[in-house]
């Protein structure tokens, strides 16, 4: 159930999902930049980080 909720958050708000998993760091900043400029790569990056 927790993994399913995390995947849903990754799709809706990718930076939030990365923040909840890793906190403020380089992964969060990369995802924030990807999500601001290109939303789909931000989703892919968040899914890759949180499901690995």
- Given a cut of 90, whether residue 35 has pLDDT beyond it is yes
pLDDT at 4: 92
**Residue 52 pLDDT greater than 90, yes or no:** no
Residues 6+ apart with CB under 8 A from 49: 18, 21, 22, 27, 31
Give the span between the Cα atoms of 1 and 16, in whole angstroms.
18
User: Which range of residues forms the domain containing residue 15?
Assistant: 2-51
Helix (H) or strand (E) holding 35: helix 26-37
Overall average pLDDT of the 27-48 stretch = 94
Number of domains the chain contains: 1
Task: Express each pLDDT in 8-34 by its tens digit.
Answer: 999 999 999 999 999 999 999 999 999
């Amino acid at each position: 159930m927790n993994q399913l909720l995390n995947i849903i958050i990754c799709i809706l708000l990718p930076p939030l999902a990365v923040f909840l998993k890793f906190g403020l760091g380089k992964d969060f900043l990369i995802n924030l930049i990807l999500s601001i400029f290109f939303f789909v790569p931000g989703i892919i990056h968040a899914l890759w980080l949180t499901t690995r």
